[in-house]
Amino acid sequence: MTSRIVSKIANGIATSDGAGVKLKRIIGGSIASLDPFLMLDEFRNDNPNDYMAGFPEHPHRGFETVTYMIEGSFEHKDNKGNRGLLTPGSVQWMTAGRGIVHSEMPKQDKGLVFGYQLWVNLPAKDKMIEPRYQDIPPSKIPVVKEVNGNQIKVIAGNYKQTRGPVDGIVTDPLYLDVTIASAQSFVEEIPTEHTSFAYVFEGSGFFGPKGNMKKVEKGQIAILDASGGKTQIEVTSDGGCRFLLVAGKPIKERVVQHGPFCIYSSIQVTLQTFRIYSHCVGMNRD
């Protein structure tokens, strides 16, 4: 087994989206995309003025949105009658497929709202499938507590003998919330050739094998090099560290992405059409 090294470290970019929610764009900013991942946003606000406007009705098509709440509550509703409440520790994996119109609005008027939304591409053959939701409460997400004090929440994929609740995803994702105890280390297998990254949101850690470690600080994303059949990641932390570890099978197809749409290049849809839809729903993601 060989360890992946960090090929790039980047900081998120402060921006706003929806009806004015302040957030940090991690993928989709300084890192344009990372096949199959199109975007990763962090929303982390304790000022209601920064999140109360939420994300009113807007469409999606051709990819999946993954919302992971750490603190706070958001309600999801769509034009097909689906409704769900995202509470602390819960996950919603939405496969937009042929398209839906939905909203994500805060269900609180004070306190901290903290979480992540990841966008995962769909291959061309699946961009018109029926929309699907996997709404997963905290009680259904296993937590592996190790003897060295590390804790690993398994959202998707496998960690050792523990499997996460998300299933049926074409990109075969791994999605872990990893907490490394002070002065401890962490090693995890990543499927060969899967694109992978880590985003540190508490503390800092050294990523990579001995002799080629790179320090990744809070608020930074580390791209993990998958070339040469590298099969695992090694992390150590002096003072403790918490990060998202995400991996997925690349789709390797050219896409056309604008606003809340991601299609494949063989479909002839004009950029003007995308702009009209994006303008109508108040979206500025690109």
Q: What is the 3-state secondary structure (H, E, C) of 137-205?
A: CHHHCCEEECCCCCEEEEEECEECCEECCECCCCCCCEEEEEEECCCEEEEEECCCCCEEEEEEEEECE
* Nearest CA-CA partner of 232 in 135, 127, 159: 159
Gap between the Cα atoms of 132 and 154, Å rounded: 21
Residue in the block written with tokens 């769509």: 78
Known binder of ligand: residue 58? yes
Q: What is the dihedral of CA 136, 140, 141, 145, to 10 degrees?
A: 170
Half-sphere exposure of 178 (CA within 13 A, CB side): 30
Known binder of ligand: residue 102? yes
* Nearest CA-CA partner of 120 in 254, 248, 265: 248
The DSSP secondary-structure symbol of 213 reads -
Known binder of ligand: residue 130? no
Residue 144: Cβ within 10 Å count: 15
Residue 229: Cβ within 10 Å count: 9
Known binder of ligand: residue 76? no
Residue ranges for the known binding site are 58, 60, 102, 104
Residue ranges for the known binding site for Fe cation are 58, 60, 102, 104
